[in-house]
């Protein structure tokens, strides 16, 4: 059971470049989310999905796009990278509801925009 797999683990982009951060889970989780983590800011929700074909904005969606064509995959696209998007990005997934369920996080993608 691989859990939540994020690729790449590290990436350096030039300002204005675009790229896609990949996220895949093999646990048949309905919920999937993307967070960014910056020092002192905690985890901020970028976009989330409650099922295939359904996505919605989180707290900091500007500059990012997502789609959820399958249950397993939830890619995050940076349209035109900016230095302010330098961060650690985490993808996470979860079952719907249940008192004992929480999000399972991937190991993260460390992105630097120069």
Partner 1 sequence: GQQVMQIPQYQHVQEGEDFTTYCNSSTTLSNIQWYKQRPGGHPVFLIQLVKSGEVKKQKRLTFQFGEAKKNSSLHITATQTTDVGTYFCAGPGFGSSNTGKLIFGQGTTLQVKP
Q: Is 101 in the site for partner 1 (CB under 8 A)?
A: yes
Total of residues contacting partner 1 (CB under 8 A): 31
Q: Is 52 in the site for partner 1 (CB under 8 A)?
A: no
Whole-angstrom distance, CA of residue 102 vs CA of residue 92: 10
Backbone angles phi, psi at 94, to 5 degrees: -160, 155
Describe the strand order of the beta sheet including 64-66 as a list of residue ranges.
Answer: 4-7, 19-25, 76-78, 64-66
Alpha carbon of 79 to those of 58, 66, 102: distances in Å?
A: 17, 11, 30
- Interface pick for partner 1 out of 48, 60, 76, 85 (rule CB under 8 A): 48
Please identify, using beta-carbon distances, which residue of 44 and 77 lies nearer to partner 1.
44
Please identify, using beta-carbon distances, which residue of 43 and 79 lies nearer to partner 1.
43
Backbone angles phi, psi at 60, to 5 degrees: -135, 65
Stretch that binds partner 1, among 10-18, 26-34, 62-70, 78-86 (CB under 8 A): 26-34
Provide, rounded to whole angstroms, the least separation between the CB of residue 14 and partner 1: 26
Q: Is 26 in the site for partner 1 (CB under 8 A)?
A: no
Please identify, using beta-carbon distances, which residue of 30 and 73 lies nearer to partner 1.
30
């Amino acid at each position: 059971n691989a859990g939540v797999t994020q690729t790449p683990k590290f990436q350096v982009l030039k300002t204005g470049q675009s790229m896609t951060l990949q996220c895949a889970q093999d646990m048949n989780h309905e919920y999937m989310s993307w967070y960014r983590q910056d020092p002192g800011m905690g985890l901020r929700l970028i976009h989330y999905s409650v099922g295939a074909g359904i996505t919605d904005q989180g707290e900091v969606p500007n500059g990012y796009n997502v789609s959820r064509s399958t249950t397993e995959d939830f890619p995050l696209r940076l349209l035109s990278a900016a230095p302010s998007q330098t961060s650690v990005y985490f993808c996470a997934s979860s079952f719907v509801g249940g008192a004992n369920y929480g999000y399972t996080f991937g190991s993260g993608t460390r992105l630097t925009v120069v």
